[in-house]
Chains A and B, each alone.
Chain A
Amino acid sequence: MRIDARDMHYRELNERIREAVASGETSFELVNVNGQRYIGDGLRGEIEIAIAGVPGNDLGAFMDGPTIRVRGNAQDGVANTMNAGRIIVEGHAGDVLGYGMRGGELFVRGRVGYRVGIHMKAYRDKRPVIVAGGTAGDFLSEYMAGGLLIVLGLDRRPGEPVVGEWCATGMHGGELYLRGEVEPWRVASQFAGVRLAEEAELGAIRPHVEAFCAAFGLGSEEIMGGPFLRIAPTSHRPYGAKYAA
């Protein structure tokens, strides 16, 4: 189903998608999308949505299964509390991506903004994955409780850091991999440790990097050449000792 979203309010756009899904439609092509929020919000099941343009905030919030591909940039709040599914953004994406994300994948070809992966979590077979091709802003993986976050640092300007400041603050679960160097002061050392990724760990992230590369037609060999830093919490109970018994 093709929907021309030009001059259409998000409420009408999303209602048309929901109604079509209710009557069995599983494939959508949205064109002229220009800032409409909440596309894919709360949708469940095997659905494919191709978006031409720039979708608005909270793309794929609470989503549980569908696949979304954005031919353009995305704004803030992509994959907010997402439970399952896949979101592919061919351009850059904004702030607060993957907040409270519990499952599924988010691949962003370009840069991502501040507060990415806050409170991502894992549960049983659910393990959310975010791969960003470019760099990430401040507060990356803050309060992260589970899942996998990879920042590849591709297409950097000379001297441009892979990640901003306050990385891993409050982190108490999950893993973060950064490709490139990072100054130690960028990472909250009271919560997380930084070291070079080991062979087995690289083997474990390889399928995700390959899936990312496949999504954008990139070669994975040079990227997997690294170097990759692994950042992981030093405690699952970071605040355990803060309180009087």
Chain B
Amino acid sequence: MSRTTAESRDSKVESGRARHAQRTARAPVYRPSDFLWRRDADRCALCKRCVQQCGFDALTWENAPVPDPEKCVGCHRCEAFCPQRAITIEPNPQYLRPHPLWTESHRKNLWVQAETGGVLLTGMGNDLPYPIIWDHLLLDACQVTNPSIDPLREPMELRTYLGSRPDQIELAVGAEGPELATELPPNLELAVPVVFAAMSYGSISLNAQKAIAMAATELGTYWNTGEGGLHEDLRPYAHRAFVQCASGRFGVTADYLNSGAAIEIKIGQGAKPGIGGHLPGEKVSAEVSETRMIPIGSDALSPAPQHDIYSIEDLRQLIYALKEATNYEKPVSVKIAAVHNVGAIASGIVRAGADIVYLDGFRGGTGAAPTVIRDHLGIPIEIALAVVDQQLREEGIRNQASLIAAGGIRSSADAAKAIALGADAVALGTGALLALGCTLCQKCYTGRCSWGITSQDPALTRRLDPYLGSRRLINLVSAWAAELEEILGAMGVNAVESLRGSRERLRAVGLDRTTMDIMGVKPAGVGA
């Protein structure tokens, strides 16, 4: 054993005692850490990089890195940046006695609340093992009698339009043949049926938002400002943005509304249905304050309801206030969380004049939400989407609005299944952050993201290069686009339009009869 290592062991014991004293003063109960941080002392070059990389102060330097396992969130930043591959982070095997009812996470959460008396916060999407319906749906494919299409040599159409379509169109005879006589409502053209989900500057860093905005622009799709205003640096990408108007009205001006491609009224979010937003004052830096147009360090509270919307009629009033403010040139989207009565709610939204309905399922991510809300409110996007599409069709108003499905879209397969259930496009939030380096540690609400994605601390945010980030996002969406072409070809259709709402091309495995009926999906084994 080298001398340095021996010394560090001693100092580790010392600092360990100090920490133990703090811990016992704070908590008279035993709460094992979630993770163990291990260092291979033989490999370690004592370069300090791990200590520099940790955004959570879980590592200190006392001749060698000394971990405080209680602070480690398992984001693996130090591990990824260790040039010697000397670090391992693993789940703490020091299990409490297993109990099927009082799981370890229930016990740990309860102890934290007994200590603090506070509402537990979390980030990203629901992490409880509810059934994942995507994994019980399979897509059809062509064999013999209905030939497939080879996407390698046949043109495949992924282009999608979002917005309202007229009930009928009229043609007139023009000088050079028939001409469209009906004035079409404004529509967005998407090169791929994938948009980026609403993530505000404030909840994510400007570099992260810039990476997404750049990628959306290059991909020919759209990004979404979330309720955080539009930063001056992102003006060049505004023509590819949904600009959000929510209950806090942060950064909402006539200029802002007119700068975007579409306007989105945010009523709810899948991760926190019925709950408002709350950007803590710590994350309202000078730049965030400028974009949101509020004082530095003040809490940015988005009240739970919009206090001017208590009915479909009130929603209609805001939709048309926004259309008037933008001369009817922009489609208006209404974003809601998927909840029990989502079919009737979506119908009301369409009848209120929305051009796009954005449905966010209960697995949707968030920068910060009470854990109890994230984990227990809402319904799955798969069911919500099927129900909304069906109800709008039955009422004969499906053409009046497009549907965006979000909240747990993990792959091109999920996207294809969502389209078959009735989505015009899917939105990518968590997936986009994963592409930027996120490891799903769920600590976004602390503002200490070691990967610079959900922090506002310049020392952390500069770790994310917007250009490189945008390349990764472009790669991801391009890969999904290529896979969607493969899927369409195998199904014997050559356009996303031909798959949309085509539930006959889906079969269920392991879903109960009632769920299948609600979703309008047949069990595997039943033919056409």
Binding site for B on A (CB under 8 A): 10-11, 14, 18, 37-38, 41-44, 57-58, 61-64, 76-77, 80-81, 83, 96, 99-100, 102, 115, 118-119, 121-123, 126, 139, 142-143, 145-146, 170, 172-173, 236-245
> Given A64-B255, A99-B307, A42–B298 Cβ distance below 8 Å?
no
B299 and A239 contacting across the interface, CB-CB below 8 Å: yes
- What CA separation (Å) do A145 and B255 show in the bound complex? 22
A100 and B253 contacting across the interface, CB-CB below 8 Å: no
> Given A42-B257, A99-B249, A145–B321 Cβ distance below 8 Å?
no
> Given A62-B257, A77-B308, A18–B252 Cβ distance below 8 Å?
no
Most chain B C-beta atoms within 10 Å of own C-beta, residue among A42, A122, A143? A42
B16 at the interface (CB under 8 A from A): no
Encode B239-266 as 1/0 by CB contact (under 8 A) with A: 0000001011100111101100000000
B118 and A123 contacting across the interface, CB-CB below 8 Å: no
B295 at the interface (CB under 8 A from A): yes
List A contacts of B281 (CB < 8 A).
236-237, 240
List A contacts of B320 (CB < 8 A).
37-38
- What CA separation (Å) do A102 and B254 show in the bound complex? 12
List A contacts of B278 (CB < 8 A).
239
B307 and A118 contacting across the interface, CB-CB below 8 Å: yes
Known: A64-B253, A143-B307, A244-B115. 18 other contacts (CB 8 A): A37-B317, A37-B324, A42-B324, A42-B325, A77-B317, A80-B321, A96-B308, A99-B307, A119-B249, A145-B294, A145-B298, A145-B301, A173-B295, A173-B298, A236-B299, A237-B299, A243-B119, A243-B121
User: Total interface residues on B, using CB and 8 Å?
Assistant: 42
> Given A64-B255, A244-B113, A172–B324 Cβ distance below 8 Å?
no
B307 and A142 contacting across the interface, CB-CB below 8 Å: yes
B325 and A61 contacting across the interface, CB-CB below 8 Å: yes
A123 and B254 contacting across the interface, CB-CB below 8 Å: no
A58 and B317 contacting across the interface, CB-CB below 8 Å: yes
List B contacts of A58 (CB < 8 A).
317, 321
Encode B290-310 as 1/0 by CB contact (under 8 A) with A: 000111011101010001100
B307 and A244 contacting across the interface, CB-CB below 8 Å: no
List B contacts of A146 (CB < 8 A).
294-295
List A contacts of B301 (CB < 8 A).
119, 143, 145, 170, 172, 239
B441 at the interface (CB under 8 A from A): no
For the complex formed, measure the closest distance between the CB of A47 and the CB atoms of chain B, giving whole angstroms.
13
> Given A42-B324, A236-B298, A240-B280, A62–B252 Cβ distance below 8 Å?
yes
- What CA separation (Å) do A42 and B117 show in the bound complex? 45
- What CA separation (Å) do A96 and B278 show in the bound complex? 22
> Given A58-B317, A61-B321, A102–B308 Cβ distance below 8 Å?
no
A244 and B298 contacting across the interface, CB-CB below 8 Å: no
For the complex formed, measure the closest distance between the CB of A144 and the CB atoms of chain B, giving whole angstroms.
10
- What CA separation (Å) do A139 and B121 show in the bound complex? 28
B294 and A121 contacting across the interface, CB-CB below 8 Å: yes
For the complex formed, measure the closest distance between the CB of B322 and the CB atoms of chain A, giving whole angstroms.
8
- What CA separation (Å) do A37 and B313 show in the bound complex? 13
B321 and A119 contacting across the interface, CB-CB below 8 Å: no
For the complex formed, measure the closest distance between the CB of B185 and the CB atoms of chain A, giving whole angstroms.
14
List B contacts of A38 (CB < 8 A).
320-321, 324
List B contacts of A237 (CB < 8 A).
280-281, 298-299
Residue in contact with B298 in the complex, picked from A61, A119, A172, CB distance below 8 Å: A172
B180 at the interface (CB under 8 A from A): no
For the complex formed, measure the closest distance between the CB of B303 and the CB atoms of chain A, giving whole angstroms.
5
A62 and B295 contacting across the interface, CB-CB below 8 Å: no
- What CA separation (Å) do A123 and B113 show in the bound complex? 36
List B contacts of A14 (CB < 8 A).
324
> Given A64-B255, A83-B253, A126-B293, A99–B321 Cβ distance below 8 Å?
no
Listed by A's residue number, 27 A-B pairs whose Cβ atoms lie within 8 Å are A11-B324, A37-B324, A42-B257, A42-B258, A42-B325, A44-B254, A57-B317, A62-B253, A62-B254, A62-B321, A63-B254, A81-B253, A118-B308, A119-B248, A119-B301, A119-B307, A122-B295, A123-B289, A145-B294, A146-B294, A172-B301, A236-B299, A237-B280, A240-B281, A242-B118, A244-B112, A244-B117
B298 and A100 contacting across the interface, CB-CB below 8 Å: no
Q: Please give me the residue from chain A that is nearest to B299 by CB atom.
A: A237
